[in-house]
C-alpha cells in the first residue's frame, strides 16, 4: 500500500487547506486504493482563488504578447521535464493506461507552444472611413476565466485548456472533476513556478459546491466548460442567472461512423476499433459509438469488428502491455453494465458479450470487457444515449440517404466519419451530416490547428485553433474623429 498524499490548495502564493479544512479522498480505480486527499472547496475558497487571479491579472495582461508567449513556452518546457510524473499521476487517478497519458502530456505541450506561436494573431481591424475619421477594433481579455474540466483527460484539459485564455491575457481558475483532481493541482504548482502566483488557480471539489460559485462569481465573465450535456445545461443556467456571461461548451457525443459497400474494409475495421478509443475504455467524447454499415458488407464487417473487439483485454494501467485500462469510478462501471443490460432488453444482437472482468492482483478495479451489439434499433436507448464506455452499437442500412438520416437522428452532433471510395458520396455525407468534425476514410484523430467543437447538444464554440483564442477576448470597436 503506497502513502496517501495530502494535496494542498494553492491560493496565490499560499499553500493551504480548504477554508473549513474539509477534504475528500481520491482512489485508484484500478485497485480501489485510497491514494490522496484533496481540499473540498466551497464558496469561500472560490472567492479567495478568484481574488488571487484578479490580482495576478493586472501583471499578466500588461505583459506584451511575445512575453506571454515566451512564458507559455517555458511552461511547456517545465511540463516536458516532469512528463513521466504527470502521466503516472493521471494513470493512478483515472485508471486508463500510462502510455495514453504520456500522449496526453505530449499533446498538451505542443498545444501550449502552438498557442504561444499565435500570440501576434490576436488582431483587430481598421475600417475605411472619411478623411478625418478612423474606426478600428481591439481584442481585449476578459480578466479571470473559469475552466471546468471532465475526468477523461485530466491534465490535458487543465493545461491545454489554459493556453488560449492565458495567451489572450486572461488569468485562469480551473475546477477539475472531483474524480481526477490530482494532476490539475500539480499543473497549478508548475504554473505558479513558471508564471508566478495566481495566474493559474485551482478549486477542487464538487460541481455544486465549487463549480457553481465559480461560474456565478461576478468577477468571472467567461466560462469554458467541458463535460456532459446535463453539466453544460447547469453551467449555462447558472451563468444566465448570475448575469450574462460568455460560456462555451464542449459536450457529449454519440458519433456515427458510416461504412459504404465500396469501402476498404480492412481500413474501415481499423477506423471502427481506433475510433472507439477502447484504450481508455471509450471514455472519450469523440468515440465512434454508432457504426452504420451498408447491408452488402454488413455480415463481413460485423464479424471482423467482433473478432478484433473480443481480443481486447483490460489490464493494469501501469503495465506497458495494457490494451485497455479501468473505468474511472464505480458510477461509470455500473453505467456501462446498465447499458449492456439495456442492449439485451432492447433485443439487439450481442456479437461480443461485454461485462465486468477480474484482473489478477487488481480484484477491486473497475475493469470491463467491451461489448458489441448488432442490428440495434436507431431509435433505441442504446443508439440514442451517450454511454461514455466500451459499448458499440452497429446498425445496417440500405442507402446513403438512410445512413445520413440515422446519423443525424440523435440530439448530439460532435463528430462523424465515413469510409468509402466514392468521392461524391463522401462529399454528400460531409455536406449533410450534422456534426462539428467529419472524417473521410479516417476516424478520431484531431488535425493540428483545426477547430474542434460540437453542433446541436454537443456544444457551443470551437477549440484547439485560433477561434479558441479569439473566444477568450472581447471585441471593442473605436470610432475616432480627428478633424
Ligand atoms: P460532467 O459530469 O458534466 O462534469 C464535468 C465538470 O463539470 C466536472 O468538473 C464537474 O464537477 C463539473 N460540474 C458538475 N456540476 C456542475 C455545476 N452545477 N456547476 C459547475 N460545474 C459543475 O462530465 P464528466 O462525467 O466529468 O465527463 C464526461 C462528459 O464530458 C461526457 O459527456 C463527454 O462526452 C464530455 N466531454 C466532452 C468533450 C468535448 O470536447 N466535447 C471532451 C471530453 C469530455 P464534479 O465532477 O466534481 O461534479
Average pLDDT for 22-44: 97
Ligand 1 centroid to Cα of residue 283, in Å, is 12
CA distance 26 to 2: 13
Query: Is residue 1's pLDDT more than 60?
Result: no
In this prediction, residue 3 carries a pLDDT of 81
Q: Are 45 and 203 in contact (CB under 8 A)?
A: yes
Instruction: Tell me how long the chain is.
Output: 483
What's the gap in Å between 230 CA and the centre of ligand 1?
Answer: 8
Q: How far is residue 325's CA from residue 95's CA, in Å, rounded to a whole number?
A: 6
Answer yes or no: is pLDDT of 413 > 90: yes
CATH superfamily of 5-251+458-478: Aldehyde Dehydrogenase; Chain A, domain 1 (3.40.605.10)
The residue with cell 458489441 is: 372
**Helix-, strand-, coil-residue percentages of the chain, each rounded to 5:** 40, 25, 35
Model confidence at 431, pLDDT cuts 50, 70, 90, reads very high
Rounded to the nearest angstrom, the gap between the alpha carbon of residue 331 and the centroid of all alpha carbons in its chain is 19
Atom 11 of ligand 1, residue of closest alpha carbon: 207
Does the beta carbon of 211 lie inside 6 Å of ligand 1?
Answer: yes
- In whole angstroms, what is the distance from residue 404 CA to residue 61 CA? 47
346 phi, psi to nearest 5 deg: -75, -5
Equal CATH topology for 5-251+458-478 and 256-447: no
Q: How far apart, in whole angstroms, are the C-alpha atoms of residue 368 and residue 354?
A: 7
215 lines ligand 1 (CB under 6 A): yes
Q: What is the pTM of this model?
A: 0.97
Per residue in 137-180, pLDDT (tens digit) is 999 999 999 999 999 999 999 999 999 999 999 999 999 999 99
- Å from CA of 214 to ligand 1 middle: 14
Q: What is the mean pLDDT of residues 378-384?
A: 98
Do 40 and 204 meet the contact criterion of CB atoms below 8 Å apart?
A: yes
d(CA 110, CA 106): 6
- How far apart are the CA of 188 and the centre of ligand 1, in A? 20
pLDDT exceeds cutoff 80 at 23: yes
Q: What percent of the chain has pLDDT over 70?
A: 100
- pLDDT tens for residues 261-320? 999 999 999 999 999 999 999 999 999 999 999 999 999 999 999 999 999 999 999 999
User: Would you list the domain boundaries of the chain?
Assistant: 5-251+458-478, 256-447
In 416-461, which residue ranges form alpha helices assigned H by DSSP? Answer: 423-432
Flag whether pLDDT at 44 surpasses 60: yes
Tens digits of per-residue pLDDT, 190-231?
A: 999 999 999 999 999 999 999 999 999 999 999 999 999 999
Ligand 1 pocket member 148 (CB < 6 A): yes
Contact 234 CB / ligand 1 (< 6 Å): yes
pLDDT band for 129, please (50, 70, 90 cuts).
confident
Confidence (pLDDT) at 2: 64
Please confirm, yes or no, whether 285 is among the known catalytic residues. Answer: yes
Residue 219, pLDDT score: 98
Instruction: Single out the catalytic residue among 41, 49, 249, 285.
Output: 285
Position 293 scores a pLDDT of 98
Please state, in angstroms and rounded to a whole number, the distance separating the CA atoms of residues 369 and 344. 16
**pLDDT score at 128:** 87
- For a pLDDT cut of 90, what percent of the chain falls above it? 98
Fold classification of 256-447 (topology level): Aldehyde Dehydrogenase; Chain A, domain 2 (3.40.309)
Chain segment 245-277, per-residue pLDDT in tens: 999 999 999 999 999 999 999 999 999 999 999
The atom number, within ligand 1, closest to the CA of 205 reads 47
Amino acid at each position: 500500500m503506497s502513502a496517501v498524499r495530502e494535496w494542498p490548495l494553492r491560493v496565490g502564493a499560499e499553500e493551504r487547506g480548504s477554508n473549513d479544512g474539509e477534504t475528500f479522498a481520491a482512489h485508484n480505480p484500478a485497485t480501489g486504493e485510497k491514494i490522496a486527499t484533496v481540499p473540498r472547496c466551497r464558496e469561500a475558497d472560490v472567492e479567495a482563488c478568484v481574488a488571487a487571479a484578479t490580482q495576478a491579472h493586472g501583471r499578466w495582461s500588461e505583459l506584451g504578447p511575445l512575453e506571454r508567449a515566451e512564458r507559455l513556452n517555458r511552461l511547456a518546457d517545465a511540463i516536458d521535464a516532469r512528463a513521466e510524473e504527470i502521466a503516472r499521476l493521471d494513470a493512478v487517478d483515472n485508471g486508463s493506461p500510462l502510455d495514453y497519458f504520456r500522449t496526453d502530456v505530449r499533446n498538451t505541450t505542443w498545444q501550449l507552444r502552438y498557442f504561444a506561436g499565435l500570440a501576434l494573431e490576436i488582431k483587430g481591424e481598421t475600417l475605411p472611413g472619411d478623411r478625418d475619421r478612423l474606426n478600428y477594433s481591439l481584442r481585449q481579455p476578459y480578466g479571470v476565466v473559469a475552466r471546468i474540466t471532465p475526468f477523461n483527460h485530466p491534465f490535458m484539459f487543465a493545461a491545454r485548456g489554459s493556453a488560449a485564455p492565458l495567451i489572450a491575457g486572461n488569468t485562469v481558475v480551473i475546477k477539475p472533476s472531483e474524480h481526477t483532481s490530482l494532476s490539475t493541482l500539480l499543473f497549478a504548482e508548475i504554473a505558479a513556478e513558471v508564471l508566478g502566483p495566481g495566474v493559474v488557480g485551482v478549486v477542487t471539489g464538487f460541481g455544486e459546491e465549487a463549480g457553481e460559485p465559480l461560474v456565478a462569481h461576478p468577477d468571472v465573465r467567461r466560462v469554458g466548460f467541458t463535460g456532459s450535456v446535463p453539466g453544460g445545461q447547469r453551467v449555462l443556467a447558472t451563468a444566465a442567472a448570475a448575469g450574462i456571461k460568455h460560456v462555451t461548451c464542449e459536450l457529449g457525443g454519440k458519433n456515427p461512423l458510416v461504412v459504404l459497400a465500396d469501402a476498404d474494409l480492412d481500413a474501415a475495421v481499423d477506423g471502427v476499433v481506433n475510433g472507439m478509443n477502447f484504450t481508455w475504455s471509450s471514455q472519450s467524447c469523440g468515440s465512434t459509438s454508432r457504426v452504420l454499415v451498408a447491408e452488402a458488407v454488413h455480415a463481413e464487417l460485423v464479424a471482423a469488428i467482433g473478432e478484433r473487439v473480443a481480443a481486447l483485454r483490460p489490464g493494469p494501467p501501469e503495465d506497458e502491455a495494457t490494451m485497455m485500462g479501468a473505468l474511472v469510478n464505480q458510477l461509470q462501471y455500473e453505467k456501462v453494465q446498465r447499458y449492456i443490460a439495456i442492449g439485451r432488453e432492447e433485443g439487439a444482437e450481442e456479437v461480443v458479450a461485454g461485462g465486468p472482468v477480474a484482473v489478477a492482483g487488481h480484484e477491486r478495479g473497475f475493469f470491463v470487457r467491451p461489448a458489441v451489439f448488432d442490428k440495434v434499433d436507431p431509435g433505441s436507448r442504446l443508439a440514442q444515449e451517450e454511454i461514455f464506455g466500451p459499448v458499440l452499437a452497429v446498425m445496417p442500412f440500405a442507402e446513403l440517404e438512410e445512413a445520413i438520416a440515422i446519423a443525424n437522428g440523435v440530439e448530439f452532433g460532435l463528430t462523424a466519419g465515413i469510409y468509402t471510395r466514392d468521392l461524391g458520396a463522401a462529399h454528400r455525407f460531409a455536406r449533410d451530416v450534422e456534426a462539428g468534425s467529419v472524417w473521410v476514410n479516417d476516424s478520431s484523430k484531431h488535425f493540428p490547428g483545426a477547430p474542434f467543437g460540437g453542433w446541436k447538444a454537443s456544444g457551443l464554440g470551437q477549440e484547439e485553433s485560433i477561434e479558441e483564442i479569439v473566444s477568450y477576448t472581447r471585441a471593442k470597436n473605436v470610432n475616432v474623429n480627428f478633424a
